[in-house]
Structure 1
Amino acid sequence: MPRTRTCIRRLAPLALPALWGAVAVVWKLACPIAQQGGTAARIATSAVFFTAGTGLVLGVHHGLARELKQVRAVAHAAQRVLLRPPPPSLDGLSLAAAQLSAARGAAVGGDLYEAVATPHGVRIVIGDVRGHGLPALGAVAAVLGSFREAAHDEPELGGVLRRLERALGRHLRDRAREEHPAPGGWDPAGASAEEFVTLLLLEIRRDGTVLALNCEHPWPYRLGRTGAEPVPAGEPLPPLGAFPLPDELPVHRGVTLPPGEALLLYTDGAEDARDAAGRFFPLQDVLDAALDGGPVHPAALIHRVHAALLRHTGGRLTDDVALMVVRNDRCRVPAQPAGQGLCRTPIAPSPR
């Protein structure tokens, strides 16, 4: 019965065009005027068939448009669940993130990001799957799903990264098995060589200390009172999926995020974007200009960078772009008498 109702709903838009078509056939076969060979009869017959044909086309178009609208709504909801926006505030940190997909009509592409508060600190991941657009969603789902569990379970940042590596490896093997079935049912060789993910994993502790593990991903920009400056880069690890992680995972500990300062995390689609003349997008210059008037709310800063990026490229992106801004809005521990030493960082209002 449910299947019958579904079929009826799908055929309902064709009811009126079918009726018009039946009228046209009856007109042609039974109407005396249609049997005549004069000019007036031919005009009347042409008008009837034109009306019926137009009704049929409009009915089919209406049905397809409604189906497409429903499919887009479902796809948009699924993409929002997969790459959900971070909360505006997380354990004293202000956050904002957004993505521009190179695939037309897609809200999510091959980039990923997530931030969660854990007993070990706020843990953040941002990554870029090889390729872009909808085909990369499987790897995005595998990495994000693993991160949302491992970030809470693993006491060390290295343990989180190894969990992500295992989750991506399972995804790649499953996909390779589906695309290239191996005789005997064993795993196909070289499944991990076809896909990889560049990834930056951060842990921001209560005192502002930032721990980082970098798998060949761009290092973030530090946003302070003097503008934007690149975070001092450590030696990166290989991208996930390209090569196995080494036995020792060197955690980078050279960054501290004091109250009032922020980090901009991004994927390489931002700095690699070019204009019509082939010039790369000047990300640092755009950040310096945005910060010139003082502190900027994370969401407003991302909006400015996105607007500048679209102007630079003329709206024609060749790669996905993800941005995340994390600002430390925690207060300093007061060392003076009560009422002094409190955090007085100016907070810009959130854009409406």
Structure 2
Amino acid sequence: MIRNELLARQRTIVASLIFLLIGTLIVGMGIGSSSVSYDRIIPTLLGHGSFKDEFVLFSVRLPRMIVTMLSGMALALSGSILQAVTRNDLADPGIVGINSGAGVAVAVFFLYVPVDAVSFAYMLPLVGFAGGFLAAVLIYLFAYSKTEGLQPLKLVLTGTGFSMALSGLMIIVISSTDRQKFDFIAKWLAGNIWGTDWPYIYALLPWLILLVPFVLYKSNVLNLLSLSEHVTVGIGVRMQRERLLLMIAAVALASSAVSVTGGIAFIGLMAPHIAKSLVGPRHQLYVPISLLLGSWLLIVADLIGHNIAGPDGIPAGVIAALIGAPYFAYLLLKK
């Protein structure tokens, strides 16, 4: 039974984060080389802007920010699932190798599969999911022990090793390609948000529409999976089946996100942790907060990177790593 005061606190935090997210989106529309003056944002959204304002807002700024927002949600939710399923507070789709698996699949698809631009946008999440799922299966098999079950520390170490190996494989794959394609993959590796058009939004949105309600529905199962294996089995949870379903959901969320935003890590680590510190470890309470925090963190990282340096800026993945790596080290020392 969740206390009424805790529910009220969660609703207050959710409402505050929604206002913060909206405020950040408005700020993002009005800054940068391609922007709309703040007094023209509302008229333009209502269809009363000039051609230039409508082009900048609907073709440049909004698609990029919506892709970033949805990707942040997907990464945060994936991290929340992984931390519960693996009972490891350091689990993150970037740290445990899922992002790298998706990246290798996307790189091979981009370099060697001829496909038109529209189909490319919709097929990317599927290709990323295939690569991420294969990586997750291999990591799980190497980290699992018949006598001790899934070992949290071994999972992080195995995932880190796979991530480095897959990054090396990607460098080998792209080393013989032409300069233009090499530059694209290099920016992808750094977490440069590149899928900044409406088709990428339409390709990413169905995954969230399907999987966010599914994960919220499984909140009680996630609460139980966070306990020890003996307790979970004793309560009657079909642990292997639930783990598999939720792992597939986590891989799908992370892979669909990184397929359009590049290799971004630490968002799936930070957002769940901050959410838990605000309302506690129950998934019913902290997952909605984690979703909003993931969106906000990635949008802020992209806005900072996009506006502080040069015409191309700094990839959002680099900014997220600058924030997330010290946080990861802090959690590692604390745990």
When normalised by structure 1's length, the TM-score is 0.28
The structure in which a higher percent of residues are helix is 2
Higher relative contact order (CA 8 A, sep 6+): 2
The structure in which a higher percent of residues are strand is 1
When normalised by structure 2's length, the TM-score is 0.29
